[in-house]
A and B are shown apart, each in its own frame.
Chain A
Amino acid sequence: MSKVVEISPTTRHEGHSKLVLKVNDDGIVERGDWLSITPVRGIEKLAIGKTMEQVPKIASRVCGICPIAHTLAATEAMEASIGCEIPEDAYLLRMMLQCANRIHSHALHNILTLPDMYLPGTDSKINPFTPEEPVRSVAKRIQTLRMVGQTIGEIVGGEAIHPSNPRVGGMYKNLTPRARAKVLDLAKMGLPLAREHMEFMIAILRNYQKRDWAEVGGKEIPIPKDLGYHNQGYMAADPVYGSSSLDEIPGWFPERWTEVRPWDWYMGEEEITLEDPSYPVGGTTKAGTKAWPQMEACTGVPLYDGQPVEVGPRARLVQFKNYDEKGAIGLQIARQMEYMDCFYKIIEAADALDCSAPVIADEIPQGDGSIGWAANEAPRGCDVHLAKVRNGKVEYFSMLVPTTWNFPTCSRALVGAPWQLTEVIMRAYDPCVSCATHMIVLDEDKRLVAEKLLE
């Protein structure tokens, strides 16, 4: 007889979500639903009628960890719709901004991951807040990496959180030679730290893979070798930056995308029948409570070739570098492997930057209502924005955000895991739930079916 257990809210990720899990007598997940319960903010709806300059600034506010992704994807979706090519040096600035944000975001995620992990050779979990070594130095290194990322983001993007420099047609400002030198200094300072840190993180993650059990709430929970395996596909538009409908060879294909309602995908109404008050900290949902994922999920379910797909660091490495490690820890390792490229790309772009070149297109067309899209490879994966602009105003706007793609995929990856480790699987996706929640749902023919929800 299967039972239903619910972890709500989930922790150590961005936003508000929960796990509704059907488990067998051994507590192994038979079907899991991971869903957003963050209130819908309706960004796509309120964008309509606003100017193409405003909308990317509003979209940025969807998330404060990866605002760069939404700013760039939205700006570039506008540029794709109006057919505006930006100057090379503006692109270099955007590239630096993109990589700087990825450094900061991955480093931040390390702090969220480490408490699940063990110091190699011991049975003690890592508390990133401890003043004791060796963890103290690790925490300092993480904060230095974040400082480097945020400072470069601030110089290049105008602001680290909600960058002010990007605009439709390019950037407001180029860098002065002094600012460029500062970026190079910071990147060169960060590079050896990143290598050291990547190696440290991978060692920690490999150690977890070798372990037989993890302690959760005072119990030893067996770690299956296939923790977090799934058979879904991967989707990535670019190894580092992104792609748009202006590209000669685009990296994303709108005709392969469909979206279904949570209703079609999630479980129906269930009663919680299993309860564990010792689950840290505060226990699971009380037995007898009703859960209804179909109704409660606050995101649409986007599909690629009719299937949920994984996006993110591993998807990028699978697609572009033949990476083949599966499972939750495989995904975590892929994330660490992205550190170095970010630094190299920043140094490359800063070296190539001409500080006296223009960073704004000579002409910025106002748009005739054509559809344009831009995919930005956000820290958490492919972030696609679609827009129609006419006479400078937005007529249609849609955001297909990484964590939205990952919700159904990760849900499938929960199957076979002890329910106590499902948060470990979920965290491997570095969920950004506010990013994921701003729904517009399309049916198979791409007609809007959930618009009514927002009206």
Chain B
Amino acid sequence: MVLGNYKQVIAARSTDAEILRGSQDGGIVTQLFAYALDAGIIDGAIVAGPSDEPFKPEPMVATTREELLASRGTRYSISPNMSLIKEVTRSYGLDKVGVVGTPCQIQALRKGQLYPVGLRDVPDKIALAIGIFCMENFPYQSIIQLVEDHGATALENVSKLDIGKGKFWIYTERGATVQIPLKVTHKYEQPGCHVCLDYVSNLADISTGSVGTPDGWSTVFVRSANGDDIWAKAIAAGAFETKPIDSVKPGIELVTKLATEKITKNQQYIEDRKTKFTVGKELRNPYI
């Protein structure tokens, strides 16, 4: 099951024009948190907030709509969101915590809930985990290299970065578009991503990404009972516009294809760590 367990999959986008203006795709993450905050389902969320440097994310606890809006958009570099998972229940005083993260971060969250080593009083305070799709991630230095050198663009002039349709896209404030073939980006990937076997955040309550739906829309998997309940309430509240996934192009087939490719490739890499990289010794495999 390369797409994990889910109750339903749909194409969706936020009905809030302000949220859509700065979101990466259909504004699912920001809209869902904003709704949950309003409805008292969460009292704050750990998101990737802005930092002093352009496109460098910094984990942040958002407890207002304004703070959620400030975290919109994808930053293709590491944002250690889980570093706040305990503090959010301490000096921030939250009881119902929302969390967004890449598949590996949602794994960390679930592991922490089941095996709370040093995470006293955290497991029962997680109210909504939203996962985003993720093919790979980059260290911040890689983003500088890709945008400034390969893309010949000053990072502070960039309005959006996106990976899609086989390219790394750079959009500038002044309206220019630069595209870099993905082949070029490979050597800049975070090496740890090469053992990752999860593309569509299988362990989240609700997961979302851009692949499978047209620009400005998102593919959404509603997975857990908790996710199903919250999604139904958000729909009833008019937070989202939806379409059956079968009615959009390229649809679920492309998500399946990319997920299969990621998992197959990385599975092979894990196998290779047994034999290829050392003499007479295996490299560690965290899955066994």
**Residues of chain A whose beta carbon lies under 8 Å from any beta carbon of chain B:** 151, 154-156, 158-161, 165, 173-176, 178-183
Stretch from B19-27, B84-92, B221-229 contacting the other chain? B84-92
CA distance A183 to B43 in the complex (A): 16
Is B94 at the interface (CB under 8 A from chain A)? Answer: yes
Interface residues contributed by chain B, number (CB under 8 Å): 13
The reply to whether B93 and A158 contact each other, CB–CB distance below 8 Å, is no
Q: Which of A161, A165, A176 meets B93, CB within 8 Å?
A: A176
CA distance A179 to B93 in the complex (A): 4
- Known contacts A154-B121, A159-B120, A160-B120: A178-B63 contact under CB 8 Å: yes
A-B contact pairs, 22 of them (CB 8 A): A155-B91, A155-B93, A156-B91, A158-B87, A159-B90, A159-B120, A160-B120, A165-B90, A173-B90, A173-B91, A175-B91, A175-B93, A176-B92, A178-B43, A178-B63, A178-B92, A178-B93, A178-B94, A179-B92, A180-B93, A182-B93, A182-B95
Query: A residues within 8 A CB of B63?
Result: 176, 178
- Report the minimal beta-carbon distance from A97 to chain B, rounded to whole angstroms: 12
For B90, the closest partner residue in chain A by CB is: A158
The reply to whether B120 and A179 contact each other, CB–CB distance below 8 Å, is no
CA distance A154 to B43 in the complex (A): 18
- Known contacts A160-B120, A178-B43: A173-B87 contact under CB 8 Å: yes
CA distance A180 to B90 in the complex (A): 10
Question: Closest 5 interchain pairs by CB?
Answer: A179-B93, A173-B91, A178-B93, A182-B93, A176-B92
For A178, the closest partner residue in chain B by CB is: B93
The total number of A-B Cβ pairs within 8 Å is: 43
The reply to whether B120 and A158 contact each other, CB–CB distance below 8 Å, is no
CA distance A159 to B89 in the complex (A): 10
- Report the minimal beta-carbon distance from B94 to chain A, rounded to whole angstroms: 7
The reply to whether A174 and B93 contact each other, CB–CB distance below 8 Å, is no
- Known contacts A178-B43, A178-B63: A165-B120 contact under CB 8 Å: no
Query: A residues within 8 A CB of B120?
Result: 154, 159-161
Query: A residues within 8 A CB of B95?
Result: 182
CA distance A7 to B188 in the complex (A): 69
Query: B residues within 8 A CB of A158?
Result: 87, 90-91
- Report the minimal beta-carbon distance from B198 to chain A, rounded to whole angstroms: 31
- Report the minimal beta-carbon distance from A376 to chain B, rounded to whole angstroms: 22
- Report the minimal beta-carbon distance from B91 to chain A, rounded to whole angstroms: 4
Of listed B44, B87, B90, residue having the most chain A CB within 10 A:
B90
0/1 interface trace, chain B 119-151, chain A, CB 8 Å (1 if under): 011000000000000000000000000000000
CA distance A160 to B119 in the complex (A): 12
For A151, the closest partner residue in chain B by CB is: B121
**Residues of chain B whose beta carbon lies under 8 Å from any beta carbon of chain A:** 43-44, 63, 87, 89-95, 120-121
CA distance A175 to B88 in the complex (A): 11
- Report the minimal beta-carbon distance from A155 to chain B, rounded to whole angstroms: 6
Query: A residues within 8 A CB of B94?
Result: 178
Of listed A173, A174, A178, A181, residue having the most chain B CB within 10 A:
A178
- Known contacts A154-B120, A154-B121: A181-B91 contact under CB 8 Å: no
Query: A residues within 8 A CB of B93?
Result: 155, 175-176, 178-183
CA distance A176 to B120 in the complex (A): 20
Query: B residues within 8 A CB of A178?
Result: 43-44, 63, 92-94
- Report the minimal beta-carbon distance from B64 to chain A, rounded to whole angstroms: 11
Query: B residues within 8 A CB of A165?
Result: 90-91
CA distance A65 to B93 in the complex (A): 23
For A182, the closest partner residue in chain B by CB is: B93
Query: B residues within 8 A CB of A175?
Result: 91, 93
For B94, the closest partner residue in chain A by CB is: A178
CA distance A407 to B140 in the complex (A): 59
Query: A residues within 8 A CB of B89?
Result: 154
CA distance A154 to B88 in the complex (A): 11
For A174, the closest partner residue in chain B by CB is: B91
CA distance A140 to B230 in the complex (A): 34
Given contacts A155-B91, A173-B90, A176-B91, 6 further A-B contacts (CB under 8 A): A158-B90, A165-B90, A173-B87, A178-B43, A179-B90, A181-B93
- Report the minimal beta-carbon distance from B43 to chain A, rounded to whole angstroms: 7
Query: A residues within 8 A CB of B87?
Result: 158, 173
For B118, the closest partner residue in chain A by CB is: A159
For B63, the closest partner residue in chain A by CB is: A178
Query: A residues within 8 A CB of B90?
Result: 154-155, 158-159, 165, 173, 179
- Report the minimal beta-carbon distance from B40 to chain A, rounded to whole angstroms: 13
CA distance A82 to B121 in the complex (A): 36
Query: A residues within 8 A CB of B91?
Result: 155-156, 158, 165, 173-176, 179
Of listed A161, A174, A176, A182, residue having the most chain B CB within 10 A:
A176
Query: A residues within 8 A CB of B92?
Result: 176, 178-179
For A176, the closest partner residue in chain B by CB is: B92
- Report the minimal beta-carbon distance from A208 to chain B, rounded to whole angstroms: 36
Query: B residues within 8 A CB of A156?
Result: 91
Query: B residues within 8 A CB of A160?
Result: 120
For A180, the closest partner residue in chain B by CB is: B93
For A158, the closest partner residue in chain B by CB is: B90
CA distance A124 to B120 in the complex (A): 38
- Report the minimal beta-carbon distance from A346 to chain B, rounded to whole angstroms: 15
Query: A residues within 8 A CB of B44?
Result: 178
CA distance A178 to B89 in the complex (A): 11
For A175, the closest partner residue in chain B by CB is: B91
For A179, the closest partner residue in chain B by CB is: B93
CA distance A165 to B94 in the complex (A): 17
For A183, the closest partner residue in chain B by CB is: B93
For A157, the closest partner residue in chain B by CB is: B90
For B91, the closest partner residue in chain A by CB is: A173
